[in-house]
Amino acid sequence: MKSLSFKYFPKKYIIILTIALCSSQQVMSQSSFKRAIGQTDFYNRGNSIKQTLDSGYIVAGRTVSFDGGGVQAYLVKTDANGNTLWSKNYGESGSEEAESITLLNDGGFAFTGYSNSVGSGKRDVYLVRTDKSGDTLWTKVFGGQGIDGGKSIDATNDNGFIITGETYSYGKGTVNAYLIKTNENGDTAWTRVFGGNGIEQGNSVQQTKDGGYIITGRTNSFGAGDYDVYLIRTDDKGNKLWMQTFGGTGSEEGNSVKQTDDGGYIITGYTKSYGQGGADVFIVRTDKSGNQIWTQSFGGGTDDFGQDIEQTRDGGFIMAGYTNSFGNGMEAYLIRMDEAGNSIWEYTYGEKSDDFGNSVCQTNDGGFVIGGSTVRSSDGPTAEKIKNVYLIKTDVSGK
């Protein structure tokens, strides 16, 4: 691993990033900035960020108020400089969370996550469609009598949606990877489950160039170790074309997958089989059939995790995650790699709080935008922990 560079910001600007895919829309990026967005007196978490058609940003996650308002799904919309334009809550009497968001052609949004307020089971996959102002157009839930949840969503070529997550309700194992295809109104077109006799989870899904789907997550039914990175390729009807696993005798998990320009795939997650110690960031590059081309691990003596990855316009890769090995406590972690997975530069962002990096997008000027939330202590005698949603825009060198 190449030498690590560090970048620190004042405590009020500490960043964590969260689960998401960035928009492929090419828009003019703004100068570098750091912003707290949305409400600042709640326990908020950002799980997904996208750059919007107006060059601003949308973050999806959850909010928990201290006045007994409960857990609700949460969207925050900003302008191009990260200034909050609006924030909206979604949910009923139970708990809801938005795990992943996708942009729609009309400027609106669709997000997936989980809900235990509505549906037929203990927890169900949650799908909400909004207009460009965040107002709900419709809500759908999917699942059976057990615990089910959505982790990742992508808008499909037919104006519908593809969702992956996990299901305890269906399949022959304890937990199975869950794939749901809907039409543009959120009505079920088909569902699929994948797994063996153990535990499988789907963490990330993307529609491929031929109209099929690629999914990554984790499995302990197949592979070499405790858990392994799980990679599934399907056709446009969700029928499995092939499956691959990656890992050693320890535990591995895939958190993000994207199709690369050559038709192959790039995955990030973590490994406990390889690297320096504890968990390490794990990067896997495959060909179009899922055969391993190379793997890389990054990290230090404690725990480091990869949460989101995408191919950069020069053919390399950018990875967002979090690290407890470098910096001051748990910090956001950003790694820029060449096409062979070799580190070009690495930065951490944070100070004396827990900060997690899970989402990244290359902007039109060649820099990067990342977003999420950070934990801080509130003022006053109770000194409660407050988690706020933040954005950071970097230059091409990650500064």
Report percent pLDDT > 90 for the chain: 62
Q: Tokens 């967002």 — which residue? A: 320
What is the tens place of the pLDDT at every residue in 63-102? 886 555 679 999 999 988 888 999 999 998 889 999 999 9
For residue 4, the 8-state DSSP code is P
Q: How many residues would you count in the chain?
A: 399
Token digits of residue 203: 């963490």
The band of 359, judged by pLDDT with boundaries at 50, 70 and 90, is: confident
Question: What mean pLDDT is predicted for residues 255-272?
Answer: 98
Q: Which residue has the higher pLDDT, 147 or 14?
A: 147
How much is the pLDDT for 391? 76
Alpha-carbon distances of 368 from 9, 99, 118, rounded to whole Å: 17, 21, 37
Q: Which of 224, 221, 282 is nearest to 249 (CA)?
A: 224
Q: In the structure, what pLDDT confidence band is assigned to residue 130 with cuts at 50, 70 and 90?
A: very high
SS3 of residue 395 by DSSP: coil
Confidence of residue 107 (pLDDT cuts 50, 70, 90): very high
Poorest-pLDDT segment among 27-36, 248-257, 306-315: 27-36
pLDDT digit string, tens, across residues 317-340: 999 999 989 988 888 899 999 999
Summarised one tens digit per residue, pLDDT across range 369-397 is 877 666 666 555 555 566 777 777 888 99
* pLDDT at site 23: 47
Q: Given a cut of 70, is residue 295 above it in pLDDT?
A: yes
The mean pLDDT of 126-136, rounded to a whole number, is 98
Confidence of residue 366 (pLDDT cuts 50, 70, 90): confident
- Strand arrangement of the beta sheet that strand 252-259 belongs to: 252-259, 265-271, 280-286, 292-298
Maximum C-alpha span of the chain = 58
Of the candidates 84, 146, 96, 152, the one whose C-alpha atom is nearest the C-alpha of residue 121 is 146
The residue ranges of every structural domain in the chain are 11-394
* 139-145 contacts, C-beta under 8 A, 24 or more apart: 139/90, 139/186, 140/182, 140/186, 140/187, 141/115, 142/180, 142/188, 142/191, 143/119, 143/167, 143/169, 144/120, 144/169, 144/170, 145/120, 145/121, 145/169
- Domain spanning 11-394: which superfamily? TolB, C-terminal domain (2.120.10.30)
Query: Strand 96-103 vs strand 109-115: parallel, antiparallel, or unpaired?
Result: antiparallel
Query: Judging by DSSP bridges, how do beta strands 109-115 and 124-130 pair with one another?
Result: antiparallel
- pLDDT band for 21, please (50, 70, 90 cuts): very low
What token pair was written down for 270?
A: 């973590």
Decide if pLDDT at 3 tops 50: no
Q: Which whole number is the average pLDDT over 129-143?
A: 97
- Predicted pLDDT of residue 305: 95
Rounded to whole angstroms, the Cα distance separating 264 from 285 reads 8
Which pLDDT does position 66 carry in this prediction? 55
Going from the C-alpha of 70 to that of each of 64, 65, 74, the distances in angstroms are 5, 6, 12
Whether residue 350 is predicted with pLDDT greater than 60 in this model: the reply is yes
Average pLDDT of the chain, as a whole number: 86
Rounded distance between C-alpha atoms, residue 289 and residue 302, angstroms: 33
Nearest residue to 398 (alpha-carbon basis) of 362, 364, 356? 362
pLDDT at position 1: 37
Over range 20-32, report the average pLDDT: 49
Q: Residue 17's pLDDT is what? A: 36
Better pLDDT: 74 or 2:
74
pLDDT at 272 over 90: yes
